[in-house]
Structure 1
Amino acid sequence: MVTPRILVPEKVSVDGLALLSEDYEVVSRPQGLSPEELLSLIPSFDALIVRSETKVTAEVLSAAGSRLRVVARAGVGVDNINVEAATAGGIIVVNSPAGNIVAAAEHTVALLLATARNVGRADRTTKEGRWERGKLVGVEVGRKTLGIVGLGKVGMKVARMCIGLGMKVIAFDPYANPDLARQTGVERLVPRLQDMLPEIDFMTIHTPLLASTLDLIGETEFKLMKPTARVLNVARGGVYNEAALLDALNKGIIAGAGLDVFTKEPPDESTPAWDLLRHEKVVATPHLGASTVEAQENVAVDVCTQVAAVLRGELPTSAVNAPLILPEEYRALKPYAKLIERMGGLYTQNFVSPPSSSVGVGARHFELVYHGDLAGVSNSRPLLAALIRGLVSPFSDTAGKHVNIVNAMAVAREKGIIIREVHAHSGAGSGKENSVYASSVTLRAVAAEDEQQDREKTESVNAGRQVIEGYVSANNIYISRLGRFSANFIPEGTLLILHNFDEPGKIGGVGSVLGRHGINIRFMQVASLDLERSKAGQDGTKGQERTQSDMIATNGNDDSQHAQPPVSEGSSKKKGDEALMILGVDGDITKQVMEDLRTAEGILNVSLVQL
């Protein structure tokens, strides 16, 4: 296996990179890369970690080809990444929305106090030898009104800090939780931005830069404010219209501004941003909102952890171009995602791909049934992605590693895979009313609607026979049913699954074959027929007697060339005299090993599964 490579073209905290260096090849270029250099290098990397200076354009993402799997932004905003192009290419974009919350909020408060007390001008003129106390009279912030646009994590933190300074806080955010805002101390949420502008003394914005927030505050909005109002921006340049802000300061429409971000950084000469930097009513800083030692360590550790998770085929916690996964959801879903991916791989390798199969392909239509507590999950897309990755991995040159929550459905459409999710809450019809597990999962292959009348096709897609069930216990994953057989094994490593007649001597015979070939058995389990399901018709047979051909085709493969002779009418072989042997093994399972096992007496079929 080629060691995944990670490109880091900016300075990123060594604490984060240390998490990657042991398992991955990390190429760090803290001095930066030119656009041409990035285009040249990116095709040979699996991951890219950037801050704010590197522009990850559609051209860069296209040049990366199919190898690049994740782009990580060590910070909050991702406006330097073409997220749409990344999504189209199946590339996950992650960021660190929580790593610099405290730093950004504290810098906002620092600019608020600096603008209120003219700290920037006072520092500069004093160092120039001037003592201008009379010209630098400021205002107190206590008992003043702060307006916050965007009451997210940073906005809420700013609100708490400023309430502690004795300020009254009102906010505009159409998606804010009114109860949480009230508990924080926010006096009220206004329905429209314009509603709060006439009464605020300070305004701070904490929103991403989107089409809806570009030039959010312009000439009209400034004219609604008090002439004593001051504005702050530690979010994204472009939220304030810079030309309108410059004009408002020059004309005395507002009293001052504290700016940490600009539309272009650093600003070009002869632009409004350039003039704002030098304006006597502006306190300007060079994008320092997240520039604390603690914040840089936090965001680096966060995004590097997520990059490692994506490269391992696991779930990121903050995928920008995928459904939000909250930390508690991540912890709950992670073991089930692993289980479902293994179930998909087990399905393909056991029911579809043994070399002796004359079927060659398996079902393309599936039901994925969530039982118990798992039935209440609201964000099941990571589980769907895990199933698709597991199903396609045995036939993928990348072992399915490029399948993720961003591109999983596109991969499914491309391969004709259709999955119906069923949330089987407790109650009639769930089939799990008496389950001892808090949550479990069933994967069931079903026939397509247009195949219902085609007996030849539906024989290979028997809903009762191609069934896998599993559960999680203490974060360990287990398979509890495989086809018509009850089981209880951990799906990992190299497995041999043998379908055989249930009679004495079979275990010893299989052990002898493996012993001759130097194959070590790590564990073995005999899985018996689930007779209760058979009687109830839940295995697809509706309770009728199985013929010998039924038994041979149990796993969806017509391996009649290796079947035992037909059972005579007076034979002791009858319904129920079957079993599965599930062996975890170490060693090289060659074609000869498989052939010797298949031809052993009483063995109906053998599958090699590698998970």
Structure 2
Amino acid sequence: MAGTIPHKPRILVPEKVSQDGLALLSGEYEVDSRPQGVSPEELLTLISDVDALIVRSETKVTAEVLRAGSRLRVVARAGVGVDNIDVEAATAGGIIVVNSPAGNILAAAEHTVALLLATARNVGRADRITKAGRWERGKLVGVEVGRKTLGIVGLGKVGMKVARMCIGLGMKVIAFDPYANPDLVRQTGVERLVPRLVDMLPEVDFLTIHTPLLASTLDLIGAAEFSLMKPTARVLNVARGGVYNEAALLDALNNGVIAGAGLDVFTKEPPEQNTPAWELVHHEKVISTPHLGASTVEAQENVAVDVCTQVAAVLRGELPTSAVNAPLILPEEYRALKPYAKLIERMGGLYTQHFASPTTPAGIGGRHFELVYHGDLAGVSSSRPLLAALVRGLVSPFSDTGGRHVNIVNATAVAREKGIVIRETHAHSGSATGGEVYASSVTLRALAVPEGTESQQDRDKKDGGDAGSQVIEGYVSGNTAYISRLDRFEASFSPEGTLLILHNHDEPGKIGGVGSVLGRHGVNIRFMQVASLAKRPKSLENGRSEVVVLGARDDTQAMRASSLEEGVKKNGNEALMILGIDGDVGKEVIEDLRTAEGILNVSLVRL
């Protein structure tokens, strides 16, 4: 019998994608390009014999579509966001999801500068008046941007590019970003990082925000923030609709609290009539554009070439450069490590939200960590998925992808960008705490001193076991992850869902008081645990250490001192109250808990 001819892998492109990218695929693969678009019903029919799917923002890649794609190996988003792709369903089906996180950085930064200059010189209003046949120069006097102060919230790739451009325009640039790498910021030429957003607002002449839209950044700038700004200040948004409270911005413009705005994004696009967004679009003090941040010929070409290159790599059995849902290792290896990767990712998210919240000036930028594997886990042949899981967890609370963009391919680069250094230690002991022995357990320790200046044993002797007391320990039972130690407290809880962690004096009545506060706000408690002080921290014994330098820094910031120490000394015993909750927990709930008698600190953690 004659051998069968293998089919050419088939690639479906149900939207308009730059031909520069598709040209990379046309020779080796069968490309079905449909720039006019396809209906959801047509997509379900077409996907059954497709090996790769390349989309932009219009096509909804649902779990149903992914299930119908029995041959599907990779879904590529020609852009940054993957909100239109069910990433969890793709992961469950073994389908790789890739995107192009860097293809439109320059375009977004340039559009920000365009809006800055347009608002400074009243370009939009001048254009409308002139085209209407009126020559009203006296009403259109603008301001120069040179020697003015630009405030940037969020120094990611776009924020950094904006900073460099505006420094080139002769502007003074200051910034707020709890997670920025201070060394990289200084090299960029940013004059300084401010510890709090409110410290910057009275000083700036222009304010631009470059953050993802998360619970912590929704309505980041509202009436209270606008009231702190100069009446001559102007604000810009080429990031996400919702970071400015649109109703508060409209009031600020109408009442002369600020002078103008340049807006490219809105909470709903296009804005609906009779909404604040609609009024902002038509406001004489606003330059408005229809989400053009990434709409350049070059940006569309860049993202298309990027994702098409990655699709070709995946179809050849190679690793992509921007996999959203990696790690990519052999299935049997990943099955063994998957519960521990989940544990370590949750430990990273718990660390960032409990120890290094957005209110902490240092954040995680420039931090050094030690990841200690105990027991059977210490003998793993490749710990790259575990390292990637830690980086993913550390950055997930302030990432619009929830950290899914971090994988074993790009974890090193992400960590280096944040100045994070991670050292692995293989301890070969069972329990990390000296209590019940588990086959495998993990310790995450934030180091208080730069690597190389002290041995772990020296730190243990000096600090009673754990430098700086910022420690999280955990283990896996079955497929369920548990936290066995948090800071100086012994615990036993599963890190999932929404958690409230309260540091309090260990006195009668505290549980009832907390329950009353939450009850008044309609917050339901799923579980509650009181964690007591650990009796005896255990040092590492007979461990072998491997240093994995994932960051670019040679030093580390000193661990923040506990602001709670004085209160603890006055009242003696202390404890942690850990609550799993349902319901909306806003700033008012947190503030009521913080001001309750005997409560030393409160952190809200979402995992």
Instruction: State the TM-score, normalized to the length of structure 1.
Output: 0.52
User: Alpha-carbon deviation of 1:379?
Assistant: 5.3
Give the match for residue 605 of structure 1: none
The structure 2 residue matched to 1:285, chosen from 285, 289, 295, is 289
Give the match for residue 76 of structure 2: 72
- Is residue 49–residue 70 contact of structure 2 (8 Å, CA) maintained in 1? no
Structure 1 unmatched runs, 5+: 324-336, 345-364, 382-404, 408-421, 430-448, 450-611
Give the match for residue 8 of structure 1: 13
User: Alpha-carbon deviation of 1:203?
Assistant: 1.2
User: Alpha-carbon deviation of 1:286?
Assistant: 1.9
User: Alpha-carbon deviation of 1:123?
Assistant: 0.9
User: In 2 relative to 1, CA 262–59 (structure 1 residues): closer, same or farther, beyond 3 Å?
Assistant: farther
Count of equivalent residues: 353
The structure 1 residue matched to 2:33, chosen from 18, 25, 28, is 28
Deviations 1:156-214 (A, max 9, x none): 11101101111111111122110110111111112222221222111112222333333
- Is residue 149–residue 173 contact of structure 1 (8 Å, CA) maintained in 2? yes
Q: Does 1:166 align with 2:170?
A: yes
Matches within 5 A, 1:47-58: 47-58=52-63
Distance 1:38 1:219 in 2: 45
Aligned to 1:19, the other structure's residue is in SS state: coil
Matches within 5 A, 1:470-509: none
User: In 2 relative to 1, CA 156–309 (structure 1 residues): closer, same or farther, beyond 3 Å?
Assistant: same
- Is residue 66–residue 89 contact of structure 1 (8 Å, CA) maintained in 2? no
Letter in 2 for 1:215: D
Aligned to 1:199, the other structure's residue is in SS state: coil
Matches within 5 A, 1:156-195: 156-195=160-199
Deviations 1:480-506 (A, max 9, x none): xxxxxxxxxxxxxxxxxxxxxxxxxxx
- Is residue 198–residue 224 contact of structure 1 (8 Å, CA) maintained in 2? yes
Give the match for residue 303 of structure 2: 299
Give the match for residue 118 of structure 1: 122
The structure 2 residue matched to 1:204, chosen from 202, 208, 226, is 208
- Is residue 314–residue 320 contact of structure 2 (8 Å, CA) maintained in 1? yes
- Is residue 49–residue 69 contact of structure 2 (8 Å, CA) maintained in 1? no
- Is residue 153–residue 209 contact of structure 2 (8 Å, CA) maintained in 1? yes
Matches within 5 A, 1:336-415: 369=381
User: Alpha-carbon deviation of 1:56?
Assistant: 3.4
User: Alpha-carbon deviation of 1:377?
Assistant: 11
- Is residue 246–residue 275 contact of structure 1 (8 Å, CA) maintained in 2? yes
Matches within 5 A, 1:442-457: none
- Is residue 93–residue 320 contact of structure 1 (8 Å, CA) maintained in 2? yes
Distance 1:87 1:211 in 2: 25
User: Alpha-carbon deviation of 1:121?
Assistant: 0.9
Distance 1:221 1:84 in 2: 37
Give the match for residue 522 of structure 1: none
Give the match for residue 226 of structure 1: 230
Distance 1:121 1:314 in 2: 52
Aligned to 2:202, the other structure's residue is in SS state: helix
Matches within 5 A, 1:412-561: none
Deviations 1:259-278 (A, max 9, x none): 12223332333333222221
The structure 1 residue matched to 2:22, chosen from 17, 35, 45, is 17
- Is residue 87–residue 406 contact of structure 1 (8 Å, CA) maintained in 2? no
Give the match for residue 132 of structure 2: 128
The structure 2 residue matched to 1:152, chosen from 156, 165, 168, is 156
Distance 1:219 1:199 in 2: 17
Distance 2:252 2:379 in 1: 61
Distance 2:42 2:242 in 1: 28
Instruction: State the TM-score, normalized to the length of structure 2.
Output: 0.52
User: In 2 relative to 1, CA 39–272 (structure 1 residues): closer, same or farther, beyond 3 Å?
Assistant: farther
Q: Does 1:248 align with 2:252?
A: yes
Structure 2 unmatched runs, 5+: 1-5, 334-376, 390-405, 409-422, 429-438, 440-607
Identity of aligned residues (%): 83
User: Alpha-carbon deviation of 1:303?
Assistant: 0.9
- Is residue 385–residue 407 contact of structure 2 (8 Å, CA) maintained in 1? no
Letter in 2 for 1:29: R
Give the match for residue 417 of structure 1: none
